[in-house]
Chain A
């Protein structure tokens, strides 16, 4: 920090600049790109704050998957326009905002919005300035019983041992979100492949990257899953990387996305929550509490849960980004 005294202020300045761009820039496409840059810069901010686990998650999910999701949403909206016969070229016509049909709020609303958002920001800045000293924290409490969890990474211990309940409910939230996405499928398209069919040129850069990167991504994903017990990493980061290389291969047209009705796909979706629940219930006879791990085998149980979670998270995240089926099943 001492070597570059201006690094933090400069980083914060660029973060806020991209934030303003994402709100103020003319086209929706440019706004999405600004938001992706914003997310990547946020990941660097997390590294500066010493939160490498959060940085990995923010880069992979906050910027990466959210970015792909929003870009594909913009592309699909353009395709809907083209399907309806509106005069908007699919690739050359970035969606302007406001579109001619969308009403902008009046001047009074805009002024009120400025006042309101400035008030919110000012109140939060004041709250930061008025925080009590010394700051409270849970570092000592987490460290004092870390050895009983069998894992060395404190963040993994919090996610899967101390606050295992949160993570169990989190994976269920992911599953419910996917059910919500699927339930928005139009009746005629139910049972088809999620998302649009991707057709990449066989000699294009996408097909090339789709072949080059998945082996590397697989290795990185498995590494992140395994290292999560010791250092920053874990099921969520690993699952995200695996989902990303899967989506890459799908977009390159190399592998089809399985149909939503496929039984193997559904097994992959539920294996994580199922293993988590089973081990959690086994905690009653083994250790006298739901999600109680006997210290002797805690590490094995946590790795088992993480392995199941990695598979399910990769599948769920990939399918969340792919979206509801858009074409009739053939």
Chain B
């Protein structure tokens, strides 16, 4: 229960996971290109997996480790790929239909939306 636990091996990887999540969140908000948003979401996912795995590693350090979190992370990686594939296909459809690779800016005023539609 202290800052010291951050300087152990699991703590180090836990912090790395947390920072990767932060970097991903920033990229998701700031980058307009949809492929970059997909990368950012995947980075958040990878960070979550690493944080989870590092935290679980404290209970069973060394090779082998706790198989339950490992199995959950493997499941998570596979599901992340399927979500990424769906998002990439949506991006491609948008690009083919409109030529855009970013979402249009949201109208500030609901009245503007009504006028356009």
Contact = CB atoms under 8 A, between A and B. Distances in A.
Binding between chains A and B = yes
Interface of A: 1, 8-9, 12, 15-16, 19-20, 22-23, 28, 31-32, 35, 38-39, 42, 45-46, 48-54, 57-58, 61-62, 65-66, 69-70, 73-74, 76-77, 80-81, 84, 86, 95, 97-99, 101-105, 109-110, 112-114, 116-118, 120-122, 124-125, 127-139, 142, 154-155, 157-159, 162-163, 166-167, 170, 173-174, 176-178, 180-181, 184, 186, 236, 317, 320-321, 323-324, 326
7 contacts: A23-B36, A31-B35, A66-B80, A77-B101, A116-B29, A128-B14, A323-B92
Contacts of A12: 12-13, 15-16
Contacts of A120: 21-22, 25
Interface residues of B, number: 85
Contacts, number: 309
B32 A186 contact: no
Interface in B1-45: 1-3, 5-6, 9-27, 29-33, 35-36, 38-40, 42-43
Majority-rule SS of B interface residues: helix
B5 A95 contact: no
A80 B36 contact: no
B57 to A, nearest CB: 5
A16 B73 CA distance: 20
Contacts of B105: 103
Contact of A74 (B32, B35, B89): B35
A124 B67 contact: no
Contacts of B66: 137-139, 142
B89 A324 contact: yes
B71 to A, nearest CB: 4
Interface centre among B3, B21, B31, B42 (most CB of A within 10 A): B31
